[in-house]
Structures are given as structure tokens and as C-alpha cells.
Amino acid sequence: AQSVTQLDSQVPVFEEAPVELRCNYSSSVSVYLFWYVQYPNQGLQLLLKYLSGSTLVKGINGFEAEFNKSQTSFHLRKPSVHISDTAEYFCAVNPLRGGSNYKLTFGKGTLLTVNP
Amino acid sequence: GAGVSQSPRYKVTKRGQDVALRCDPISGHVSLYWYRQALGQGPEFLTYFNYEAQQDKSGLPNDRFSAERPEGSISTLTIQRTEQRDSAMYRCASSLGGRETQYFGPGTRLLVL
């Protein structure tokens, strides 16, 4: 079984400041990792994903995340945020192998609020 | 192209009533998933279809919950004899295959009074 921990439920930042949203996971098998974003009154949108290869993954809207296998982390970063980045961000994993390799396990989400 | 659509977007019902939530996946996506998201939580897996076959229903909380996808396209999640604890956001997702990236719809927010 897998579990995902998003350490911060809320992160307030000022516009143009850098931000890091933290995600740690637990799994007995290797996993794929995802960040999804939910803008107000919209559905979940895929921000980026790590499947294999380079541990630094770039996504949409200037976000990037780094997979750290030894620390079982997949933190999301952006060097300079905009008001429009205000949203809820979800980290998720699914196992590479096994009978449930289609099943996403999500963290509880981090609400990013960007203030002017 | 069109994304995943869900209807209704909002549903208010009285305890004891049955509700049916609809999901229309992206055209050509053979895999379809239902998740439930309680307030302050992340989405939790309910069930998974590959074409019309329900491959996994391990996440359905009890036998009041059922889902179908009879023609391998549109899916319906039905909750019988709703209870207040069923209030949540119900999310549908689809993918090209079972291990492919999942694309989510806007969700149906269900409120049981």
C-alpha cells in the first residue's frame, strides 16, 4: 500500500516570492509521482509527473519538482509565483507494478494563497 | 478536444433518496475511474473500469454504492438510500489505459440533507 503526506495544509506567500510545497510518500514498491492542481471552481489538472529518467521534472506554468528516492520526497517548486497560482495542489502516487498499478493515492492537499 | 465531463455539477438531495452521477470520459479513453473527496481530504479511489468491465470496486464504501459502464463509454455512479456522510465531491477520471495518466472531470458536489 502507498501513502502520501503533504506537510503543509496552507501556504501563504507574496506575489513574486519563491514557493516550495512539500510531499513525502511511503511505498513498498517503486512508484510514479504526480502533482495535480485545482483552481477555484475547476477540476483537477495535471501539473507534472515523474515516471523515470531525470529526477528534475518541469511542468506547466513554470512549476518544477524533484524526485528524491532516498528521502522519498517529491517537492514542488516555483521561483516566482503569481496571483493566478492561487489554488489547491495535490501530490499523488501510483505503483509501477502490481495489481493496483492504476490506483492513484493522493495527499490531503496544500492550499497555496498568493497575496499581492 | 473535449475533456472529461460530469453531471450534475451540484446535487442536493434528502437523506434516503437515490442519486445517479454521470461521467462522460474523453473520447477513446478505455479506462475510467471514480474517486470521492471529502472536505479537507485528497481524492480517494472508489472503482475502476477497463472498457465496460468493472475491474476493481474495492474502494466502494458499502453496498449502497454501485457503478456501471455498460457500453464502455459513459459511466454512472449510483448511491442508494443516501446518508449525510455521503456528502462529498465525486470525481471521475479517464485514461488511455490502466497505467496511463488520468485526466479528471470537474466533479459533482453532492450534499445530503
pLDDT for the residue numbered A11: 97
The shortest C-alpha distance from B42 to chain A (Å) reads 4
Greater pLDDT, B1 or B14: B14
Of A61-65, B14-18, B24-28, B97-101, the least confident: B97-101
pLDDT for the residue numbered A96: 83
The shortest C-alpha distance from B105 to chain A (Å) reads 6
Average pLDDT across chain B, whole number: 95
pLDDT for the residue numbered B79: 98
Minimum CA–CA partner of B40 in chain A? A108
Where residue B98 falls among pLDDT bands split at 50, 70, 90?
A: confident
Residue ranges, chain A, pLDDT below 70: none
Closest-CA residue to A51 (of A33, A65, A35, A67): A33
Where residue B1 falls among pLDDT bands split at 50, 70, 90?
A: low
Q: Hey, is the C-beta of B25 within 8 angstroms of any chain A C-beta?
A: no
Beta strands in B1-113 (DSSP E): 5-7, 10-13, 19-24, 31-37, 44-50, 53-56, 65-68, 75-79, 88-95, 103-104, 108-112
Minimum CA–CA partner of A93 in chain B? B101
The verdict on a CB contact (< 8 Å) between B42 and A90 is yes
Q: Hey, is the C-beta of B107 within 8 angstroms of any chain A C-beta?
A: yes
DSSP calls for A46-84: EEEEE-SS-SEEE-GGG-EEEEETTTTEEEEEESS--GG
The answer to whether A13 touches A21, Cβ cutoff 8 Å, is no
Average pLDDT over residues B71-82: 97
Average pLDDT over residues B13-24: 98
Where residue B100 falls among pLDDT bands split at 50, 70, 90?
A: confident
Total CB pairs under 8 A between chain A and B = 54
